[in-house]
Every structure is written in structure tokens, then in C-alpha cells.
Structure 1
């Protein structure tokens, strides 16, 4: 990833990583872009790491978010489309999507009046991770944007406890881990 330093051209809302606290980065602050996966931006700031949402990328002077293949709202609804939407969600510290990290434990689709309800159970790599609600909301929004989805819920669960053995072969390769 490009480690170029950028300046913020306006105050910008962000989320402190890993605490999950909402913060404001001041206009004129310098940030280094560390990760842009899933449409959100992880930046290094003086106090550590922060996540800037896609809608605030214009605050980063001279930075342009790389284009991604759209998943949201395109094509026909299917279970595969839900899994593909989930694969566009990332922990802001790890360059592997939440599906390949083994964080998604269950996916249920129910017909409801006017469309479908999607219910997902996922976990986190660590119980104290403050970014859990942020990652879960990102997943919920991406699922909710799919055609005919009326409601979407993403629940964080702790059973079973996540271990690195749950990472898929593709995720292990991306992280440079040996195959299982």
C-alpha cells in the first residue's frame, strides 16, 4: 500500500482503531494511508490508526480511492450475492475479508413481505475489539443494499471462539501463513 503522507483539507470524522471510538481528525492533520479495502480507508495518525469512511475520503487532499467492482445493489439476489457482499468487508487492520478470516459463522435468508430478511452471525478475532460494531454495521449496510433485501441484521457472537485455524486457504495465502 502507498505510504504517502496526505493532509486533511477539512475536519473529518473517523473511528479510532482498535478502540472503536468516534473521533474527529482536524483539518491540516497529516495522515498516511495504510489500507483501502472494502471502500473504507485505514490511516496512520500521530495517535495510531484510524478508519475514515468512504463518504469522507474527499477530506484527504490529493487522495483518490481506488475503484472497486460494485457488488451492492447489482444483479439478482442470491445467497451467493450475500456472500460476495460480505467479502467486501474488512477488519481495518487485516488485509483479508471477514469471510476468508473465518469470522462469518452463519447466514440465514428468510422471505418476508416485499422481499427478504438476511440474518448473519459473525465473530471477531478478539473479544475486546472495539471495531466489532463498526465492522458489523459495514456488513449490514452492504447486505441491505442488495436487491430485494428488506431488512438485514448482523449479530456478533462468541461461540465458538475464533482461532487462526478458521482462516480460509485464500486468507492464509494473503497473510503469508502456511496452508493447513
Structure 2
């Protein structure tokens, strides 16, 4: 689910001009689980204005040791996209991350990893 209460698929359909950015973020892996930050439900929202992309994202816990790495990987991957010149990342803690944020693919990966969802 995105911060708008939409699934990733609905968010892409709602903002088709940003589909390539959502797809690009599928390349950014969560370091703790073998899935993308999109499937992990960390990306809440995307917006683009000219060459500037704004990402609203959350993390599984405030003390997550991977926050800086995930943010840098996110920024680096989006800067590879044509027309993206600047990436701003806003970290959002409310509402907190829960397993409900996982995509269907994310749930399948968690189950295969032995994690109850």
C-alpha cells in the first residue's frame, strides 16, 4: 500500500507518468529480505516536477541500521532514469510500517523465507 492507501499497482495506474519510476524502485533491494523496497512496502508515494523527484518512504523501524543505505540506493537508482536530476527523500514515520504494507509478492517472499505474515 502507498501512503495514499493504494496498492502499488493502483498507484502506477493512478500516475501512469511515474510508472517507470515505480518500476525503477523495484531494482532497489531491501538488505534484510530478498525483495525490493516496493514489495517491502517502504515506498509510500512518488511525485515528479520537472527533473525533481520526491519520494516519501518509511522503514520497518526507527532504529533500522539500513536507513542510510536504502536511501542512498533509492537516490542513486532514480538518478539513473532519464530526466531525473534531483531526488528528495522524505522519511515518514506515521503511520508506522506494518506487514499490511507488503505487496502480494512481498508476502509470498516472506512466507518462503519462513516469516509469518
Q: Same fold per TM (> 0.5)?
A: yes
Q: Does residue 143 in structure 1 map to residue 82 in structure 2?
A: no
Distance 1:144 1:83 in 2: 13
Q: Among 39, 44, 48, which residue is 1:109 paired with? A: 48
Q: Give the structure 2 partner of residue 172 of structure 1.
A: 107
Distance 1:167 1:101 in 2: 5
Q: Give the structure 2 partner of residue 98 of structure 1.
A: 37
Structure 1: which 4+ aligned runs deviate by more than 6 Å?
none
Query: TM-score under structure 2 normalisation?
Result: 0.77
**Structure with the bigger percentage of helix:** 2
Kept in 2: contact 1:136–1:156 (CA 8 A): no
Kept in 2: contact 1:136–1:155 (CA 8 A): no
1:178 is displaced (CA, Å) by 7.2
Distance 2:28 2:103 in 1: 15
1:156 is displaced (CA, Å) by 1.9
Q: Give the structure 2 partner of residue 86 of structure 1.
A: 25
Distance 1:131 1:170 in 2: 22
Q: Secondary structure at the match of 2:85?
A: strand
Q: Which has the higher contact order (CA 8 A, sep 6+)?
A: 2
Query: TM-score under structure 1 normalisation?
Result: 0.51
Q: Give the structure 2 partner of residue 132 of structure 1.
A: 67
Q: CA RMSD in A?
A: 1.6
How many correspondences in the alignment? 98
Deviations 1:121-157 (A, max 9, x none): 1111111012101101100110011001111122222
Deviations 1:22-68 (A, max 9, x none): xxxxxxxxxxxxxxxxxxxxxxxxxxxxxxxxxxxxxxxxxxxxxxx
Distance 1:130 1:172 in 2: 22
Kept in 2: contact 1:143–1:152 (CA 8 A): yes
> Which sections of structure 2, spanning at least 5 residues, go unmatched?
1-16
> Which sections of structure 1, spanning at least 5 residues, go unmatched?
1-77
